[in-house]
Homo-oligomer: A and B are copies of this chain.
Amino acid sequence: MDAAHMRATVEKYIEAVSTDNIELIREIYADNATVEDPVGSDPHEGIAAIEAFYSRIHGVGVKLELTGNARCAANSVAFPFTATTQGRTLEIIDVFEFNADGKVVSMKAYWGA
């Protein structure tokens, strides 16, 4: 997988979540994608469940900001960022896995109390 495409997808994701853009979310994920956020919770499976998940996030309002460069390896990318919502800032690392079409098929978010 092309590293430039994976890095561009990370930038698109940061924008999508921060600006409440569900169209961008739909562009990023494959129809059969899974989202486990945080790792250890029940995954959201399929694009409909994923859209519903991001709609709930958008209802709260959140700003994401990268705190380091995205790290690409094979068909995966890991990236560190902060998520600020209601005056509280969480530190998170997400890992995306891509399919052959360049869509994200798996997202895992590492964060916790």
Contact = CB atoms under 8 A, between A and B. Distances in A.
Interface in A59-113: 67-69, 71-80, 91-93, 95, 109-113
A75 B67 CA distance: 23
A72 B75 CA distance: 23
A40 to B, nearest CB: 3
Nearest to A109: B73
Interface size class of A (residues with CB under 8 A): 20 to 34
Interface centre among A73, A75, A78, A112 (most CB of B within 10 A): A73
Interface string A3-28: 10000000000000000000000000
Nearest to A94: B78
Interface of A: 3, 38-41, 67-69, 71-80, 91-93, 95, 109-113
